[in-house]
Structure 1
Amino acid sequence: MISTYTTLLRTPSAWRFLTPGLVARLPYAMLGLGIVLLIKDTTGSYGMAGAVSAAAAVALAIVGPQTGRLADKYGQAAVLVPGALVHGAAVAALIVCAKTGAPTWTFFATAVAAGASVPQIGSMVRARWVAKLEGQPLLPTAFAFESVTDEFTFVVGPVVATFLATGIDPAFGLGVEAVLTVAGSLAFAAQRSTAPARRPADGTPHASAIRVAGVKVLVGAFVCIGAVFGSIQVSITAFAEESGRAGLAGALYAVFAGGSLIAGAVYGAMAWRTGAQRRLVVAFAALALGTAPLWAVPNIMVMVPVALICGLALAPTIITGYTLVEGLVPAAAKTEAFTWLTGAIGLGLAFGSTFAGIATDEFGASPAFVLTFAAAAIGLLVVAAGRRSLVPAKRAVVDVTPVDAAPLALGR
């Protein structure tokens, strides 16, 4: 396993984009939880906190794919630089509004701006790997490495956000998120030599990735994955508080992400004989089984191993999804395709955090975990029903009709 990843990391110029990319991606896992902790502290409501966090996630889900389309067309740097600066300003505005007791609508307005401007670093890194390794055996390993990196950020990010919020002030978690996002994104954008080539301006209509049937299935499945993330994020925060150990919320979430990190590292280094379509169904089945007992966990000591086991199925599910989508779309739409999946996770986060927040306020943390299992189970049904459309064609052929309301395709 180590030799496989060592070979991957010896790819020429890889570290030029991996290092700043890691700095820029680390805050991604801090944003949602940071908003929850800040708004809960200033309003006292998990429902409000979940709703504001959801507003940011919905904005990310809607705008993210459009950002990917622009990056394919104009280049990554042209999109990253202004987006990162807007994000930093939006997060600062959200902090000011929350701390000064501004009207509730300002929480949502600034959260939407912050979510919409989140730099799509993960998708852009994957697009750079494709540009370097397309058609080579190491490409699936690269996707696995990126999923492990994502999970690493979800191990470290919540811990940092919770430590800063509970140890210093809730505003510090979001403040650090903004600084790291801006600095990392600008450094990543400066590495122009490793960026994929822009789509030629030949007058040919751009084929949207969402027109591919298999991409629609994966988007629906990834919405469910995001709902797992979002519901756990809110429910674990409430669970830790109900247990009298509010400061452990980030650590518990890190255990969940840690299980995913371990599984992802092993999964990505293995040579699989079974098809990716079948593996995706199995991974979702394992995720449903892993989330089933969460509602019955009695205390933090029991939650630690349950969260670890629950997380083991997550990274393999995500890795397989990204592997499948890469083969479903043409080269000119790959960044957009990756951002559809990232945006779908964000949309799922919105649903999960909103409904988990409402359920937590009404019934407590344990019943809210039922939503986590429901999200995983629905994801299993989606991929099982759409399995045939996930088989890559020799080259994806898509409808080039302009996408005027692309987010609506999530439900089609």
Structure 2
Amino acid sequence: MASTVTTEPSKDSSAPARPGYGQLLRTRGAWTFLLPGFAARQPFAMLTISIVLLVQHTTGSYGAAGAAAAVTGVSMALCAPYSGRLADRYGQRAVLIPGVLVHTLSGIALTVLALSHAPLWTVFLAAVPTGASVPQIGPMVRARWGVRLKGSPLMTTAAAFESVTDELTFVFGPLLATALCTGVNPAAGLVTEASLTLVGGLLFAAQRSSQPQVAAAGHARVEHASALRVPGVRVLVVTFLGIGTVFGGMQVSLAAFTESIGEPGLNGVLYGTFAAGNMLSGLVCGAVAWKAAPRQRLVVAYTALALVASGLWAAHSVLVLAGLGLLVGMCIAPALITGYTLVEDLVPAGARTEAFTWLTGAVALGQAAAVTVAGQLEDRFWGGAGFLVPMGGTLLALTTLLALRSRLAAHPRARTVARGVGHRVPVTVD
């Protein structure tokens, strides 16, 4: 199996007990998709907050702003898995190029409609293709790592690295979007998001050498069975839905809180603190040689997340909210990393992009539901009522995870094929 790893031969033959980021980043060809991938995924962290700030500015309602963002999130959640499945079947480039073009045009249309105070239903209508066409760069990058690191212990490190990269975008993305919307123009965040999607997405699509190969027709019939048929994937989808409620609930509630104290500029700082905690704990997770099984780590991390998220609604000062946000972020990263790592064990290679997009879509769906409910709570009840959403979402997901955690155990796959990588027995990465 070591011969399938595409890192430097001198590094592969003597992989250390604790695979490090340095060894990971020396993987041959990694930088060809990492750099454009980072640029292309940056808009993902800007989209929801940019829509919330733009629509709230033009309508004066967090409920309307949350609903518009929710339409985008639901559209993305529903379409992302099919985008991933098409990428597995026809290649990432074939899906990316039309996707980024549609996303750019529909994002600009949404901006124009909001600024012209068009009827709210037209903004919702434009939000549908805007969300449906969000390029799934994160899952595509993870799938490319899977090609480069077949069976390598570095897969855990790669999962951690991708989580850190995601969270790095959630440090800079909301800060950039908030600064643009509050300091330049309410539409500047969404315009920048659309522009970065176009440029970054096309550059990423141009990297043909690193994308997973498309299976032959006969192989595809075996390998392209839906990833959602795997029981463990369904459990992870519910788990990631709960994580999405944290992201969405905090985006709306932090914006409402900072406005209520007359400091809207602190919104990006507080959300960036939350994302920084996520990023820092992700770095640690990738550097540790874990002894516990992945599903045990997931249960522990998720229990901690639910407990800390349950205290957000009681915070009434910037410092306390920043501290709790930091702790929530530190709990999210281990759960995300372990969930993505479990996909490597549970899902055949030919369906992993789809599996990753189911998880990404679940986060988006949870986020969409959260921004809607949190927006209504902030409009109708006390300031900070929106923080009840992360508490409820994580507690419900934790209950499901505890009841069905046995489904996350990896088993040898019964379906085998004569060629390809989907037939191998899962390799432990801990």
Q: Does 1:207 align with 2:225?
A: yes
| Stretches (4+) displaced over 3 A | none
Contact 1:84 1:118 in 2 (8 A): yes
Partner residue, 1:192: 208
- In structure 1, runs of 5+ residues without a counterpart are 399-412
Q: Does 1:130 align with 2:130?
A: no
Contact 1:53 1:350 in 2 (8 A): yes
Q: Distance in 2 between matches of 1:331 and 1:315?
A: 24
Contact 1:328 1:396 in 2 (8 A): no
Partner residue, 2:182: 166
Q: CA deviation at 1:372?
A: 1.1
Aligned ranges 1:10-409 → 2 under 5 Å: 10-202=26-218, 204=221, 206-395=224-413
Q: CA deviation at 1:2?
A: 10
Aligned-pair RMSD on alpha carbons?
1.4
Instruction: Report the TM-score when normalising by structure 1.
Output: 0.94
Q: Distance in 1 between matches of 2:40 and 2:335?
A: 23
Q: CA deviation at 1:145?
A: 0.2
Partner residue, 1:409: none
Q: Distance in 2 between matches of 1:212 and 1:292?
A: 31
Contact 2:45 2:169 in 1 (8 A): yes
1:266 is paired with a residue whose SS is helix
1:102 is paired with a residue whose SS is coil
Contact 1:329 1:396 in 2 (8 A): no
Contact 1:236 1:365 in 2 (8 A): no
Q: Distance in 2 between matches of 1:341 and 1:200?
A: 26
2:352 is paired with a residue whose SS is helix
1:354-412 residue CA offsets vs partner (Å, 9 max, x unmatched): 000000001133222111111111121121111110011112659xxxxxxxxxxxxxx
Contact 2:104 2:195 in 1 (8 A): yes
- Comparing 90-99 with 375-384, greater Cα deviation is found at 375-384
Letter in 2 for 1:75: G
Letter in 1 for 2:113: C
Q: Distance in 1 between matches of 2:309 and 2:414?
A: 35
1:156-198 residue CA offsets vs partner (Å, 9 max, x unmatched): 0000000000001110000000011110010000000000111
Instruction: Report the TM-score when normalising by structure 2.
Output: 0.91
- In structure 2, runs of 5+ residues without a counterpart are 1-16, 417-430
Q: Distance in 2 between matches of 1:100 and 1:397?
A: 55
Q: Distance in 2 between matches of 1:281 and 1:124?
A: 26
